[in-house]
Amino acid sequence: MRITYYGHSCFGVETKGKHLVFDPFITPNELAKDIAINSIKADYLLISHGHGDHVADGVAIGKNTGAKAVSNFEIISWFEQKGVPGHPMNHGGKVQFDFGVVKYVNAVHSSVLPDGTYGGNPGGFVVWNDEVCFYFAGDTALTMDMKLIPATCPKLDFAILPIGDNFTMGYEDAAIACDYIDCDKVIGCHYDTFGYIKIDHSAAKKAFVDKGKELILLPIGESLDL
Ligand code: NI
Ligand code: MN
């Protein structure tokens, strides 16, 4: 599978011939100004919660590509009202798609859509098939609920965790989350985009190395084959 970073918490994942896009927030992100949203392929849009920095380009990409949105019931109702079809889920539920299984898992955060519509409770996703299993945490604090992931899902190959602090856990707590989710390889997200979440990259990587973990900070626009 191939993962591409589009800045903030937005990633493209190509697996089993399908393109998944997580938390599309590109055009408002000055750091991602070189990413053209019209060039992004998507069969599915996975939306962790309703905040603008996770849904901003969702409707545009959905309409460009014909992608189906996957999120909680409230967010999918909002996408469908805007003409993007979706698959509604809620916490603890999993569903088999043509690329693999998606489980919607707990996040400790808040959620409202940009126009004030109630966004339900925020979540994250565990995605697996016969080539990969990974966790996309969305925006969350460190929470004991993360221990449910290794208890209920296949062994993770990697996790995408927020590390920017202030609105989510910081890198120190994300390094602890590695133990809770039983996964030593992390791709960081939700850092540097705004003043509140600017971080020292070498200090973040050191916090992981000191615990025997790996933190990958992908440059925006770059891909990794995993
Ligand atoms: Ni948020
Ligand atoms: Mn956010």
Give the total number of structural domains in the chain.
Answer: 1
Domain containing residue 38: CATH number: 3.60.15.10
Which residues, including other chains, have CB under 8 Å from residue 175's CB and lie 6 or more apart? Answer: 207, 208, 210, 211, 213, 215
Q: What is the Å distance from ligand 1's center to 133 Cα? A: 24
Q: What is the Å distance from ligand 2's center to 130 Cα? A: 30
Compute the distance between CA of residue 162 and CA of residue 142 in angstroms, rounded to an integer.
Answer: 10
226 within domain boundaries: no
Q: What is the Å distance from ligand 1's center to 164 Cα? A: 12
Compute the distance between CA of residue 68 and CA of residue 50 in angstroms, rounded to an integer.
Answer: 16
Q: How are beta strands 2-5 and 158-162 bridged, if at all?
A: unpaired
224 within domain boundaries: no
Q: What is the Å distance from ligand 2's center to 58 Cα? A: 14
**Which ligand is the nearest neighbour of the Cα of 193?**
2
The predicted structure's pLDDT at residue 162: 99
225 within domain boundaries: no
Compute the distance between CA of residue 70 and CA of residue 66 in angstroms, rounded to an integer.
Answer: 13
132 within domain boundaries: yes
Q: Per this entry, what is the length of the chain?
A: 226
Compute the distance between CA of residue 118 and CA of residue 106 in angstroms, rounded to an integer.
Answer: 17
Tell me: the pLDDT tens digits for 40-69? 999 999 999 999 999 999 999 999 999 999
Q: What is the Å distance from ligand 1's center to 161 Cα? A: 13
Residue 201 phi, psi (nearest 5): -60, -40
| Residue 165, domain extent | 2-219
As a whole number, mean pLDDT of residues 16-45 equals 98
Q: What is the Å distance from ligand 2's center to 54 Cα? A: 6
CA atoms within 13 A on the CB side of 8: 29
Q: Could you give the percent of the chain with pLDDT greater than 70? A: 100
Tell me: the pLDDT tens digits for 85-143? 999 999 999 999 999 999 999 999 999 999 999 999 999 999 999 999 999 999 999 99
Single-letter code of the amino acid located at 29: N
63 within domain boundaries: yes
